[in-house]
Structure 1
Amino acid sequence: MTVDGGRRHSWWQGLRESVEGADTDLRPEGLMHIVPAGLGPAYVKFGDLYPEQQLQLQLLYGASQRAFERTTRVAARVTVQRVLHNALSDPRLEDAKPNDHLAEYLDEEIADLRGRLAQDSATAVSRGLNVGLTLGSAASLVLLAVPLLWGVALLGALGVTLNCTDRWHLLGAFVCGGVGALGAVLSVLVRLRGNAEQLTKRQNSVGEGLVVPGQMARSMRHEGVYRVVVGWILALAVYFLLGGGLVPVFEVPATAADICPSAAAPGSPTKGTDFWGFWCAIGFVAGFNERWAFGILGRESTRKPKSA
């Protein structure tokens, strides 16, 4: 492999890991596998005197091998190895009873490791959701570009003729839906600002153990795309309800009939500005309320706590 080929492969692997997470370790290790040579008896006594800390280190060592980011995996695994080596080499391990200071040291290190891995899970959730929103937004741009640039030509090739009013109706629907997708993206970003921790807890509250961060990232990527689609559908529904006069909440400032000339009226091209502005605003508001669908966060996590 050439140097340029190796760089491209490394760049692509880094990009893939930033989206999918680090590759799965096919040969995970247990805590016993990293016991330094000659400290086997000390490890047995460590388990007898500090069973809770040994269990927590075992669980955290397993979780470190499933971390989302490779740097977190390396740092967490090295930390567990260092903490275990320090504990097994500590002279206080020779005491007949657990030493309070050694136990406090272990508890502090365990709490720090939990914080690192919790942050790694939050990163997986946030990145998965951001990637999903990006993919949904890109798909929205394609859905907008195709009908706006080639829609009339494609329908003409199929033998379908559109008059001026038909064109404005279709273009209004697509623009309203596209802006609704952007409104949905903004709605998700606003609600999730500072709430990644709550979202991570919700992903893990399945009652069957912790979810691997890579799986959380994939789940939230699908959720992000789903949110954009919800924004599209809500905006289109509002467009058809208001445009068709089914819900006469207020008067539409400009319709396609007002813009296009006809035998009864000359039409007014300047009305097009009112048409676009009105439906873009309606689409954005409708898409912003994608929270009507099943919430990413529970309602209690998006409300401000009451002051005492």
Structure 2
Amino acid sequence: MTSLATLYERMFFIRRFEETLLDLFAQGKLVGTTHTYIGQEANAVGIVDHLAPERDVVFSNHRCHGHYLAFTDDAFGLLSEVMGKATGTCGGKGGSQHLCKGNFYSNGVLGSIVPVATGIGLAEKKKGTGAVSTVFLGDGTLGEGVTYESLNMASLWRLPVLFVVENNHYAQSTPVELELAGSIAARGAAFGIEVAELDTTDVSEVHEAAGRAIGRIRETGEPYFLVLHTYRFSPHSKGDDNRDLAEIEERQQRDPLKIAGERLDQTERGRIEATCESRLAETVAAAEAAPAAAPEAA
């Protein structure tokens, strides 16, 4: 059983990594855009802890950094990639959204990764590897038809796919109640897929639910639909935020770091945070010093 201290350390590092990215953009050291995972860290950390990077496969979306760090622990490769450095995960050519390392894949085109994850589930089933294909999608992706085609095939062919819906209540700037009719959980159930639904930011609760879901997939070889009601504290990308500040502040009272951190010994918590800050500073220095990707490599 992974300790709360370990889960907290992973969440805290993801949080500080994302905040550092925004700082680097503000300093003019990064260009383009990014979609941070601030506020949703309990989901990636709680779920990915049950996956084996050498066997299982993870698929993500435009808001992929938390999933990537939880699965690969490759902060240098990710930061180098966002900086356009040759040492990046994809040689500086994929940027913030399009990452590929080992069994991790992300794509910024909304919904496009869902059928890929389903296809990999089919391939792993036919090969008999016992691997679980996990795909993270948001509430906005439930407006894409290919998502339902994928759910249909995963159910019909009994594929080992974990569909994780992170409902952060906004599709870019549109509130979920203005973009989705009906129940999110009912969408998975309509295809005969087992469903679990949580409204929590407690990493321990997410971890427990994810363990049940992934254990069920490994036992039956069949898909699972996990709905997590969450909230992002940061804008959709870098600065496009029109939400009510009072709403954000109210949700920050349920900050996953606050909830987990208050249950730790505070001396241990301080040590964890200092270790993460030191590691992050070293990562930034190394990435800044790394060579830029050559134009001819594009």
Q: TM-score range by the shorter chain?
A: under 0.3
TM-score, length-scaled by structure 1: 0.25
Higher RCO, 1 or 2 (CA under 8 Å, sep at least 6)?
A: 2
Computing the radius of gyration over CA atoms, which structure comes out larger, 1 or 2? 1
TM-score, length-scaled by structure 2: 0.25
